[in-house]
Amino acid sequence: MSIYSLLITHYSLLITHYSLLITHYSLLITHNSLLITHYSLLITYYLIPRP
């Protein structure tokens, strides 16, 4: 009985760990793409000839 509850706790912690990892990496990807967009907008802004 206790072995099964330990197994269930172990696997639920594993699932939580991996879902947090996935969330972390997706946030990193989103952050990097926002950075890329930001810098490309800056470059575009500075490359536009102004009167």
- 5 within domain boundaries: no
- 10 within domain boundaries: no
- C-beta atoms surrounding 44 within 10 Å: 9
If one counts the domains in the chain, the total is 1
Model confidence pTM above 0.75: no
Chain centroid offset of residue 23 CA: 5
Q: What pLDDT does residue 51 have?
A: 75
Tell me the C-alpha distance between 41 and 39, whole Å.
5
- 31 within domain boundaries: yes
* Eight-state DSSP code of residue 15: H
- 12 within domain boundaries: no
pLDDT digits (tens, 9 = 90+) for 1-51: 799 999 999 999 999 999 999 999 999 999 999 999 999 999 999 998 877
- 26 within domain boundaries: yes
